[in-house]
């Protein structure tokens, strides 16, 4: 693989899951707010459908980012984290991305489950 392709895969592997979680969480929060507002009652927003769809899209993006990180990790497995750039940097970020993507996957799944299974629009 070329260095340019490895760099693109490395950055997608590192940032893809974090950006996916951010999008899922922000859009999901907006959907919940719209559902619970007085105007949202007239719109008949399918909250659970939105949340499950957002979580599914987020999981697909995270799995693609994990595949990219694993591809970079395997391509640079001969390098060590302490090696000079670009091989050392690629390997270091790929290692971090493999671990972080698993964490973001769990966060997205739990966020999707929690938003669909918990009571929505509860008055305090």
Domain boundaries, the chain: 3-117
pTM recorded for the entire structure? 0.88
Q: How far apart are CA 40 and CA 31, in angstroms?
A: 9
Q: How far apart are CA 34 and CA 117, in angstroms?
A: 18
Q: What is the pLDDT of residue 40?
A: 63
Asked if residue 51 lies in contact with residue 31, where contact means CB atoms within 8 angstroms, the answer is yes
- Digit-coded pLDDT (tens) for 69-120: 999 999 988 776 666 678 788 899 999 999 999 999 999 999 999 988 887 7
Mean pLDDT, the chain, integer: 89
């Amino acid at each position: 693989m070329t260095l340019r392709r490895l760099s693109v895969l490395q950055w997608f592997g590192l940032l893809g899951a974090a950006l996916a979680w951010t999008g899922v969480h922000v859009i999901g929060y907006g959907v919940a707010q719209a559902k619970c507002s007085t105007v949202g009652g007239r719109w008949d927003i399918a909250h659970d459908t939105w949340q499950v769809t957002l979580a599914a899209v987020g999981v697909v993006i995270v799995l693609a980012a994990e595949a990219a990180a694993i591809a970079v990790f395997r391509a640079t497995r001969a390098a060590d984290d302490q090696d000079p750039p670009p091989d050392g940097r690629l390997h270091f970020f790929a290692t971090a991305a493999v671990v972080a993507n698993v964490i973001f996957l769990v966060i997205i799944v739990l966020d999707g489950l929690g938003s669909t299974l918990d009571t929505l629009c509860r008055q305090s």
